[in-house]
Amino acid sequence: MGDEWETWIAAGFKSANKYNACMLSFRFFSICGHPDDGQKRHLSETTGLGLDQVKFWFQNKRTQVKTMCWKEENYKLSVENEILRDENRRVKIAHCTAVCLTCCNSSVQNQLAVEMERLMGQSEWLQQEIARSNGTPPAANLAFQLNSSADYVFSGQHDQQMIAELAKNAMHALIILAESHVALWFPVPGCSYEVLNKMAYDQAYPGDNSANAIGFKTEATRAVSMVMMDYKSVVDFLMDPYNYRTFFPEVISGAVTNRIYTWPTSDGYNGVIQLMTVEMMFPSPLVPARKCTFLRYCNVLNEGLVVVIDVSLDDGSIFSKCRKMPSGFLIQSIRPNSCKVTAIEHVLADDTGVHELYQPCMNGLVFGARRWVATMARQSARMRDVHHNKTAPQVSTKGRKNLMKLADDLLASFAGGIAATGGGTWTVVIGAGTEKDIRVAYRRTTEGSSSYNAILSVTASLRLPLPMRKTFDLLRNLTHRCKWDVLVHGSVVKEEVTIARGVGNDDTVTVLHCKRAGREDRGRTMILQNNGYDASGSFMVYSQIDSELMNTMVLSPSDLPPGRGGPSLYPTGFSLLPDVEAAQDSSGIALGEVGGTLMTMGFQIPVKLASGDRMYSRSAASAIRLMTDTIALVKKTLMNEHSGIYGGEKGGPCADKNQEHAKGIHRLRSPCISQNLLN
pLDDT tier at 471, thresholds 50, 70, 90: very high
| Position with higher pLDDT, 27 vs 457 | 457
Q: Residue 31 pLDDT > 90, yes or no?
A: no
Among candidates 241, 281, 287, which has minimal Cα distance to 413? 281
| Beta bridge partners of residue 601, listed in sequence order | 460, 574
Q: Do 369 and 191 touch, CB atoms closer than 8 A?
A: no
Q: Do 277 and 293 touch, CB atoms closer than 8 A?
A: yes
pLDDT tier at 18, thresholds 50, 70, 90: very low
Residue 484: phi and psi, rounded to 5, are -135, -25
**Domain count of the fold of the chain:** 3
Structural domain range at position 313: 97-208+216-382
| Position with higher pLDDT, 387 vs 342 | 342
Q: Residue 333 pLDDT > 60, yes or no?
A: yes
Q: Are strands 508-516 and 491-501 parallel, antiparallel or unpaired?
A: antiparallel
Q: What is the rounded average pLDDT of the residues 75-101? A: 71
Residues 88 and 124 in one domain: no
Give residue 86's pLDDT. Answer: 76
Q: What is the rounded average pLDDT of the residues 54-69? A: 82
Beta strands in 303-394 (DSSP E): 305-311, 322-324, 327-335, 338-349
Which amino acid is located at 76 in the chain? K
The residue out of 64, 96, 128 marking a domain boundary is: 96
| Beta bridge partners of residue 332, listed in sequence order | 305, 340
Q: Residue 74 pLDDT > 60, yes or no?
A: yes
Share of the chain above pLDDT 70, in %: 71
Q: Do 569 and 543 touch, CB atoms closer than 8 A?
A: yes
| Beta bridge partners of residue 463, listed in sequence order | 598
Query: Which of 118-122, 283-287, 668-672 has the weakest average pLDDT?
Result: 668-672
Give residue 646's pLDDT. Answer: 38
| Beta bridge partners of residue 275, listed in sequence order | 259, 295
Residues 270 and 166 in one domain: yes
Which amino acid is located at 201 in the chain? Y
Give residue 509's pLDDT. Answer: 94
Distance of CA 529 to CAs 55, 314, 343, 539, Å?
Answer: 40, 42, 29, 10
Q: Do 254 and 421 touch, CB atoms closer than 8 A?
A: yes
What's the per-residue H, E or C state across 129-160?
Answer: HHHHHHCCCCCCCHHHHHHHHHHHHHCCCCCH
Query: What is residue 294's DSSP assignment?
Result: E
Residues 63 and 113 in one domain: no
Q: Do 229 and 246 touch, CB atoms closer than 8 A?
A: no
CB-based contacts of 427-430 (< 8 A; 24+ apart in sequence):
429/615, 429/620, 430/620, 430/624
Query: Which of 148-152, 167-171, 218-222, 598-602 has the weakest average pLDDT?
Result: 148-152
What distance in Å separates the CA atoms of residue 647 and residue 629, rounded to the nearest whole number?
27
What distance in Å separates the CA atoms of residue 232 and residue 304, rounded to the nearest whole number?
8
The residue out of 80, 96, 112 marking a domain boundary is: 96
Q: What is the separation of C-alpha 319 from the centre of its chain, rounded to a whole number of angstroms? A: 29
Give residue 126's pLDDT. Answer: 64
Mean pLDDT rounded to a whole number for the chain? 78
Give residue 299's pLDDT. Answer: 95
Give residue 128's pLDDT. Answer: 60
Give residue 137's pLDDT. Answer: 42
Residues 151 and 172 in one domain: yes
| Beta bridge partners of residue 317, listed in sequence order | none
Residues 562 and 454 in one domain: yes
Count of other CB atoms within 10 angstroms of residue 581: 14
Share of the chain above pLDDT 90, in %: 35
For 451, residues 6+ apart whose C-beta sits below 8 A from its C-beta are 608
Residues 5 and 92 in one domain: yes
Give residue 79's pLDDT. Answer: 78
Query: Which of 249-263, 382-396, 658-672 has the weakest average pLDDT?
Result: 658-672
Count of other CB atoms within 10 angstroms of residue 485: 25
Query: Which of 152-161, 429-438, 469-478 has the weakest average pLDDT?
Result: 152-161
pTM: 0.74
Q: Where are the alpha helices (DSSP H) in 15-141?
A: 21-31, 37-47, 51-96, 106-134
**What digits encode the pLDDT tens for the residues 567-617?**
678 999 999 999 877 556 556 677 888 889 999 999 999 988 877 677 788
| Position with higher pLDDT, 296 vs 111 | 296
| Position with higher pLDDT, 65 vs 233 | 233
**What element of type H or E holds 631?**
helix 617-641
Phi-psi region of 667 (alpha: psi -120 to 50; beta: other; left: phi over 0): alpha
Q: Supply the CATH number for residue 36's domain.
A: 1.10.10.60
Count of other CB atoms within 10 angstroms of residue 406: 23
Q: Do 283 and 249 touch, CB atoms closer than 8 A?
A: no
Q: Are strands 185-187 and 217-227 parallel, antiparallel or unpaired?
A: unpaired
Question: CA torsion sign, 485 to 489 to 492 to 497?
Answer: negative
Rg, C-alpha atoms of the chain? 28
For 207, residues 6+ apart whose C-beta sits below 8 A from its C-beta are 143, 144, 147, 148
The residue out of 61, 78, 96 marking a domain boundary is: 96
Q: Supply the CATH number for residue 139's domain.
A: 3.30.530.20
Q: Do 143 and 124 touch, CB atoms closer than 8 A?
A: no
What distance in Å separates the CA atoms of residue 286 and residue 274, rounded to the nearest whole number?
32
Residues 471 and 609 in one domain: yes
Q: How many residues does the chain have?
A: 679
Residues 203 and 170 in one domain: yes
Question: CA torsion sign, 133 to 138 to 142 to 145?
Answer: negative
Residues 557 and 616 in one domain: yes
Give residue 32's pLDDT. Answer: 76
Q: Do 490 and 659 touch, CB atoms closer than 8 A?
A: yes
Helix (H, G, I), strand (E, B) or coil at 76: helix
Residues 431 and 334 in one domain: no
Residues 545 and 452 in one domain: yes
| Beta bridge partners of residue 296, listed in sequence order | 274, 310
Q: What is the rounded average pLDDT of the residues 383-409? A: 83
pLDDT tier at 391, thresholds 50, 70, 90: low
Instruction: Give the CA-trace dihedral at 112, 113, 116, 120, to 10 degrees.
Output: -170
What's the per-residue H, E or C state across 559-577?
Answer: CCCCCCCCCCCCCEEEEEE
Residues 50 and 123 in one domain: no
Query: Which of 126-130, 298-302, 490-494, 673-677 has the weakest average pLDDT?
Result: 673-677
